[in-house]
Structure 1
């Protein structure tokens, strides 16, 4: 495939996927949490004990802004932080039990919304899409 056509198709798919993802996340996000805070919670739900630096890198924020948003989530009792035993300057952020419960509920809602969104696919089409997603993950994301 010529590179310009590949880039165009990838950009078009990425834009469409981003729109669907944003819509779904907006629908499952709790009202008392900002989208940015929800992105942090989702990262903590899918990644084991990241540092403040890792969180900032993943959501595109500076370290001071990351610290401020995590502090807000701590005040809501949704996350906790703990110091590294070897280097007290390094802190890990984790979901609290209340945060885990909230994200379990959000994950269940997301699964229901995805099922509704793609209910029109028959089993063969679902298998094809899953195969395509595996291929995209392997070839484009290296997973």
Structure 2
């Protein structure tokens, strides 16, 4: 297998996935939340508990900007900060009940968009997609 060709396919796949994610989430962002704040909430929802530095690194946002956005989200009662038992200087960030409710609604809309996209897929197609996602996750994680 030509690994360079495989990498090129991977690049095309990730670019395509960025577009698909954009299409599936463009009308999902709740009112009063910026796109950056929504990205942060989405990342927390799928990775909690998480630290400020993990958010900053994964979303390519500077630490000061991440901290500022987290403060705004905390003021909207969408986040909770928990002190780490192993290090009192470290804090973990989780969604509050209101934040979890907001993200549950957003994910319901995204799921509807996803189901619409795959509505014509056969059972075999769905099984192949499930397997392909499992392999990608195992090999690239």
Q: TM-score when scaled to structure 2?
A: 0.90
Runs of 4 or more, structure 1, over 2 Å off, are 82-89
**Partner Cα separation in structure 2 for residue 116 and residue 124 of structure 1:** 17
RMSD: 1.5
Q: Is the 8 A contact 1:24 1:113 kept in 2?
A: yes
2:18 aligned residue: 18
**Partner Cα separation in structure 1 for residue 124 and residue 86 of structure 2:** 52
The answer on 1:106 being equivalent to 2:103 is no
SS in 1 for 2:93: strand
Report the more deviating stretch, 93-102 or 83-92: 83-92
Q: Which runs of 5+ in 1 are unaligned?
A: none
SS in 2 for 1:89: strand
The answer on 1:64 being equivalent to 2:67 is no
Deviation at 1:138, TM superposition (A): 1.8
What does 1:103-142 correspond to in 2, within 5 Å?
103-139=103-139, 141-142=140-141
Q: How many residues align?
A: 141
Q: Which runs of 5+ in 2 are unaligned?
A: none
Q: Is the 8 A contact 1:26 1:35 kept in 2?
A: no
SS in 1 for 2:36: helix
**Partner Cα separation in structure 2 for residue 87 and residue 132 of structure 1:** 39
